[in-house]
Amino acid sequence: MSRPTPTRIVRHRLSTALRDRVAGADAERRAHAIWLADGPRRFAPLDPICRVHGHPGMYAGGIRALLLQALHPLEMAGVGEHSGYRGDPWGRLQRTSEFIAMTTYGPMDAAQRVIDRINRVHTTVRGTARDGRQYAATDPHLLRWVHVAEIDSFLRAHQHYARTPLTAADADTYVDQAAWAATRLGVDDPPRSTADLEASLAAYRPELESTPGARDVARFLLAEPPLPALARPGFWLLAAGAVQLLPGYARDLLGLHLPGRTRALEPLALRGVADPLGRLGTAAVGWALSSPEDPRNAPYSSAVVDRRGVA
């Protein structure tokens, strides 16, 4: 057996570090349960949802989704009181990544078990926001906000960073395919096309606010990421891309403005500074995770795909 080259060693170490953060210490066990386990799948490897969720743009897209979701005060109240995002930020990320990966790539029966587990947890998340309003994680309206902010972020990151973005028809298919898991989590009437998605986001706009909780999430993610000092620069590359992809109103509400820039010139500065940084970070993640030996890069056999579900 030939000795690993320095390049392969570096890529393996970086890949392992990323997987451990996003999937947890048992990342390999989870990978086998999702990508190598036998059983019918709901989606084929070349389906739009598999292309989007398998692209490294998901890292910047995930940061964008967290920032955008935090702007809904009732959603933020539930996150602040129940998710432990400061005490256990990686645990929350790992549970979310398992849900996305399993419902996209995993056997259908295993995907349903993950959905059932999340639904049970949601029944325990309820309380009162700072303004006195009641919230519950089972509220279809709040679940819909989480869903539309998430898939809008994933789709925008993919379209921005992918060498071959989805066609307009495939982008509609992505939104429609993502609705499958959303409905099983209690989302009423999830969007089924990009036009529906844009309309859904616009409808939530009057409900979004700049709350102390939302600003704390932004500060925690962007200024105080829970990472060793040596790992922070790489994270900040992805975060720069995430901020650049946020709608202008979201950056305004979160106070995310470049110092010393007038508002009129800020979009140009973001494209000139944040966008190249985001592209560099996404390319680095893509390189680290592109090992052909990784089962995630050769998902399930053709025999399994032929038996995939269609409902």
Most confident of 21-35, 76-90, 270-284: 270-284
Rounded to 10 deg, the angle between the 140-161 and 232-245 helix axes is 100
- Confidence band, pLDDT 50/70/90 cuts, at residue 288: confident
246 CB-near residues (< 8 Å, 6+ apart): 64, 67, 68, 254, 256
Per residue in 164-221, pLDDT tens?
999 999 999 999 999 999 999 999 999 999 999 999 999 999 999 999 989 999 998 8
CA distance 143 to 155: 18
Share of the chain above pLDDT 70, in %: 85
CA 239 to chain centre: 13
Q: Is the pLDDT assigned to residue 59 strictly greater than 50? A: yes
- Confidence band, pLDDT 50/70/90 cuts, at residue 90: low
Our CA dihedral for 91, 51, 28, 300, rounded to 10 degrees, sits at 140
Per residue in 126-142, pLDDT tens?
998 888 899 999 999 99
Number of Cβ within a 10 Å radius of residue 188: 10
Query: What average pLDDT does this structure show over 89-112?
Result: 88
Query: What average pLDDT does this structure show over 45-55?
Result: 95
CB 52 within 8 A of CB 170: no
Per residue in 240-258, pLDDT tens?
999 999 999 999 999 987 6
Q: Which residues of 56-83 are buried (b: 16+ CB within 10 A; e: fewer)?
A: bbbbbbbbbbbbbbbbbbbbbbbbbebb
Write down the mean pLDDT value for the chain: 86
Q: Is the pLDDT assigned to residue 308 strictly greater than 70? A: no
